[in-house]
């Protein structure tokens, strides 16, 4: 699970915490299951672009390293390449087992 923290300017500089998790309609939480398309990449890119920081657990952090490879070697798929740019922002890892 990832937490996106963005600035909510209406509440005295308090920040919103947005929990984002990929889950299928039958409640499966597995990044290998489901349909990932341009719309989904854009949805998460939009959330990330308003976030001030992204907090990851160790496993999610390791999974997200995939997007670093697309920064170095773009795929040619606009939605994936744009998501890779969005995901490359300030992030923090929270784990007892790095």
pLDDT at residue 24 in the model = 73
Length of the chain: 98
Number of domains in the chain: 1
- The pLDDT of residue 7 is above 60: no
Q: Is residue 22 part of a domain?
A: yes
Question: What's the rounded Cα separation, in Å, for the pair 72 and 67?
Answer: 9
pLDDT at residue 73 in the model = 94
**pLDDT, tens only, 10-25:** 555 666 777 777 777 7
Question: What's the rounded Cα separation, in Å, for the pair 96 and 98?
Answer: 6
DSSP state of 14: -
Q: Is residue 41 part of a domain?
A: yes
Q: Is residue 31 part of a domain?
A: yes
Instruction: Please tell me whether the overall predicted TM-score, pTM, comes out greater than 0.75 for this model.
Output: no
User: Both tokens of residue 14?
Assistant: 């308090």
Q: Is residue 74 helix, strand or coil?
A: coil
pLDDT at residue 5 in the model = 52
**pLDDT, tens only, 17-64:** 777 777 777 777 776 766 788 998 898 888 888 877 787 777 778 888
Q: Is residue 98 part of a domain?
A: no
pLDDT at residue 21 in the model = 73
pLDDT at residue 76 in the model = 93
Q: What domain range is 7 assigned to?
A: 2-93
User: Both tokens of residue 13?
Assistant: 């500089």
Question: What's the rounded Cα separation, in Å, for the pair 92 and 54?
Answer: 6
Question: What's the rounded Cα separation, in Å, for the pair 3 and 6?
Answer: 10
């Amino acid at each position: 699970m990832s937490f996106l923290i963005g600035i909510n300017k209406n509440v005295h500089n308090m920040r919103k915490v947005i929990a984002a998790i990929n889950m299928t309609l039958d409640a499966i939480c597995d990044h290998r299951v489901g349909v990932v398309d341009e719309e989904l990449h854009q949805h998460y890119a939009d959330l990330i672009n308003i976030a001030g920081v992204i907090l990851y657990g160790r496993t999610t952090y390791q999974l997200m390293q995939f997007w670093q490879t697309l920064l170095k070697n773009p795929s040619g798929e606009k939605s994936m390449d744009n998501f890779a740019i969005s995901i490359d922002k300030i992030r923090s890892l929270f784990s007892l087992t790095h």
